[in-house]
Amino acid sequence: MQHFLTTESLTLDQLTAILDTAESFINADGSSVKKVPLLRGKTIVNLFFEASTRTRSTFELAAKRLSADILTMNIAASATVKGESLLDTLRNLEAMHVDMFVVRHQDSGAAEFLSQHISPGISVINAGDGRHAHPTQAMLDMFTIRRHKGAFDQLKVTIVGDLLHSRVARSQIHALRTLGAKEIRVVAPRTLMPTQLEGLGVDVYDSVESALSGTDVIITLRLQKERMQGALLPSEREYFQLFGLTSERVALAAKDAIVMHPGPINRGVEISSSVADGEQSVILQQVSYGIAVRMAVMSILAGQ
């Protein structure tokens, strides 16, 4: 693998290799290992054109635990504002002899674009491009699911929320399909449901209750406040009433269902505090597994 851009084209073997490698970086208690010298001497640049806290910092930690040198560039407020093109920014950084770029950008296809124009031998990891893909997030979600549920083939997974704008959901759907999940259900107000999503192999629901019934994994998506503009939704209150993940709704799922969220969470908007902090929530584990999974992706791309 030269680049890691999307989960869509990856094979079962490739996905499994990432999960197995991540497993090797985890201690028995679930915390990630301290430091390994796998990427010593390598330089990784975090290229963030869009704000991020958790993704950026877990990439930094992952690189450091692999003994790589990592530099984080928040470009949102610098070069591109001055009119420099995305490609020029990349060329300038390339000249600094970088081995790997971790890219987040607001345009769908940005990581793919950079991978097509980058010098040979340099890898690109997609850390989120527009609404298209966020494959490392999806892989840490798969890792979390596998740790709790074991095999995928009997699993019913329900994704609740703003699928229209969600790169995370798209990457999760592709990964879940390839890993063989039995049923993938999606539910959202119709204004936040992408056209023909069923074409990706999911079952589309209007009722959150039906979508949650008997499910094994619940993934709630973040609802950004700006969605109230543009007539997508009437209010946060009505959204929470219709789609918010409450204890009552979680009770419709399987007894041992887990609750996931890619973060950052909006309490009282898409999820109640009692669920976010409840026994079935694995939200914080997702964050800590994020380090091991990103270590796995980086080390695989580096050929280690």
Q: Does 195 bind other proteins (CB under 8 A)?
A: yes
Cβ-in-10-Å burial (0-12, 13-18, 19+) of 8 comes to middle
Nearest to 194 by CA among 175, 167, 174, 213: 167
Considering the complex, what minimum distance in angstroms separates the CB of residue 128 from other proteins? 10
- Nearest approach, Cβ of 6 to other proteins (angstroms)? 8
Q: Give the type of residue at 33.
A: V
Specify the residue, 198 or 277, whose C-beta has the smaller distance to other proteins.
Answer: 198
What residues are paired with 159 via a beta bridge?
Answer: 186, 219
Interacting stretch for other proteins, rule CB under 8 A, among 27-35, 36-44, 193-201, 239-247? Answer: 193-201
User: Is 48 one of the binding residues for other proteins (CB under 8 A)?
Assistant: no
Specify the residue, 132 or 294, whose C-beta has the smaller distance to other proteins. Answer: 132
Report the candidate in 75, 84, 28, 67 with the shortest Cα–Cα distance to residue 47.
Answer: 75
Which span (142-150, 189-197, 266-274, 279-287) binds other proteins, by CB under 8 A? 189-197
Beta strands in the chain (DSSP E): 43-48, 69-74, 100-105, 123-129, 156-160, 183-187, 203-205, 217-220, 258-260
Distance in angstroms (rounded) separating the CA atoms of residues 84 and 227: 30
Residues 283 and 285: their CA atoms lie apart, in Å, by 5
Cβ distance to other proteins smaller for residue 180 or 201: 201
Using the rule CB under 8 A, which residue among 18, 26, 102, 133 binds other proteins? 133
243 belongs to the binding site for other proteins (CB under 8 A): no
From 62-70, 80-88, 149-157, 232-240, give the range in contact with other proteins by CB under 8 A.
80-88
> Which residues, numbered 136-165, are part of the site for other proteins (CB under 8 A)?
none
Q: Which residue has the tokens 């640049």?
A: 45
**CA proximity to 255, closest of 209, 221, 219, 212:** 212
The partner residues of 104 in beta bridges, in order of sequence, read 48
Residue 227 sits in the site that holds other proteins (CB under 8 A): no
Considering only 200, 204, 232, 300, the residue that binds other proteins (CB under 8 A) is 200
User: Between 22 and 169, whose beta carbon lies closer to other proteins?
Assistant: 169
Nearer to other proteins, 8 or 236 (CB): 8
Of residues 100-129, those binding other proteins (CB under 8 A): 105, 107-110, 112-113, 117, 129
| Among residues 11, 53, 196, 235, the one that binds other proteins under rule CB under 8 A | 196
As a dihedral over the C-alpha atoms of residue 7, residue 10, residue 16, residue 17, rounded to 10 degrees, the angle is -110
Smallest CA-to-CA distance from 127 within 50, 23, 218 is with 50
Point out which residues bind other proteins (CB under 8 A): 8, 85-87, 105, 107-110, 112-113, 117, 129-133, 167, 170, 194-197, 199-200
